[in-house]
Chain A
Amino acid sequence: MPESVFGQEGESLFRYDRINALVAVVIFSFAILLFTKWAKEGKPLFLRKIPGLEAIEEAVGRATEMGRPVLFIPGIAELDEIDTIAGISILGRVAQITAQYETPLYVPVRYPLVLAAGQEVVEQAYIKAGKPELYDEDIVRYVAGEQFSFTATVNGYMMRVRPATNIYMGAFFAESLLLAETGNAAGSIQIAGTARPEQLPFFIAACDYTLMGEELYAASAYLSHEPIMMGGLKGQDFMKILIIILIIIGIVLVLFDSAETYLSWFEEN
């Protein structure tokens, strides 16, 4: 591999080998701030529909009609994972809908920190929905710290209680299919979202709707319908277009065998 044009890390305070990442961060931040500003000013921003998110309210409505609970799992990772934070953000929106419809909600978690954050978010959602009296601390429950103990507990719940709607949003690993197939067998409508590409096929096979990759992170902004949040999504789209252009330039340069310097700009050192 050719050596990066930015050179190797030396004794200096600044890591010159990461200038490429810094440039990307600056452009990305600028794009997000710019689109957020435009959104604040009221410029219309088009966002494509995400069927999985559109289906959430309908799925909670189904649970209400059937008189059965909604099961929400914010992944099985710790709170320091961005996937879990995304899951917790979506939980807030879902809890607001279940509070409005007075539908029981059950949120099993694997880590105590997620428990604390989940309880806070659900409580705020019930207050916001004007139904604080319906909030119960045990809506969000710590069930087990081990991956498969957690899975066994949740699967047991699904088969005994048969929730009408199962929502999986966050980081999932080997248990993804165990959960989703059990939910399918229990006859629940299922909506999943994860950024782990290796777990996506399992969710796609077993769930009714699946949010793929970036859609998980976009969900809280999408569900909020707040222009300021949607500005961030448009900034993301701008970066994607930029990356596509850079990939096309790279392909052309590789075809003409003159991509050595260009490729070194994107190397991780």
Chain B
Amino acid sequence: MRTTLPLAVAFITGVVFVITFFLNEESAIVGGISKQLLDWLIIIGGFTLLLGVVSILRVSWQSVERRKEDWIYKLITILSVLVMAIPGLLPESWSSLFGRQEGSIYDWLFLNLQAPMMATMFATLAFYIASAAYRAFRARTAEATILLVTATLVMLWRVPMGEAFLNLFSEEIPGLINRYIMGGVNLAVQRGIIIGAALGAAAMSLRIILGIERTYMGKS
């Protein structure tokens, strides 16, 4: 039963979604069923959020309780979860500081702490790109050299100063890079990967629908 029921659910929902793809949603009952299933997914997802909160609080609390290494950060995590969640969950009617509207504690914390921290994290990507590019573009092999030359041309084409530099030689160069490197070689390879990935995803979906693939449930 522990295996049969999930397999039956996977089969029925999979078949319903496949069928609805070939039917007009407006006129088909099945179209309504697929919409219902998507709504259920959102509702289940909302409830499972509690699982996540419990997990993060339990793991962090264990570290604090046992005074494990870096326990102070775990304490900050617990406090952050509570400080963000509690005022956000309290009704707005109690105070304008509660809820998630503009001017609330939640809103202030999000705009002034969480958003800048996430933006900072994203901004560090530039440095990571530089170090990865340095390693990838070292001209040790013929392939790496081709990569280096191609990347240099594309980078020159992408930045205004580089484009102005290329225009000194010929105004056609940026257009040629766009047409042959980005729209030719690059696009062909990307399409190859996308076709392969789409087939792989379809094959895996079929294996799941038919119950051949059970590894996602921990079964073989």
Contact = CB atoms under 8 A, between A and B. Distances in A.
B51 interface: yes
Contacts of A146: 114, 118
Contacts, number: 202
B24 A25 contact: no
A4 interface: no
Interface residues of A, number: 85
B215 A92 contact: yes
A141 B129 contact: no
B204 A178 contact: no
B212 A88 contact: no
Interface residues of B, number: 62
Contacts of B219: 124
Contacts of A43: none
B140 interface: no
Interface string B202-220: 1111111010110111111
Contacts of B44: 113
Contacts of B204: 82, 85-86, 217, 220, 232
Interface stretch (A7-15, A65-73, A255-263): A7-15
A173 B123 CA distance: 14
A125 B214 CA distance: 13
25 contacts: A25-B202, A32-B207, A33-B210, A82-B204, A89-B216, A111-B45, A113-B44, A121-B215, A138-B55, A141-B55, A145-B49, A148-B118, A149-B121, A152-B121, A174-B125, A178-B121, A201-B136, A206-B132, A213-B193, A214-B200, A217-B203, A220-B213, A236-B200, A240-B195, A243-B199
> 7 tightest CB-CB pairs across the interface, nearest first?
A124-B218, A214-B200, A217-B200, A213-B197, A112-B52, A142-B52, A148-B121
Interface of A: 9, 11-15, 18, 21-22, 25, 28-29, 32-33, 36, 78, 80, 82-83, 85-86, 88-89, 92-93, 111-113, 115-117, 120-125, 128, 138, 141-149, 151-152, 160, 174, 177-178, 180-182, 195, 197, 200-202, 204-206, 212-218, 220-221, 224, 226, 228-229, 232-233, 235-236, 239-240, 243
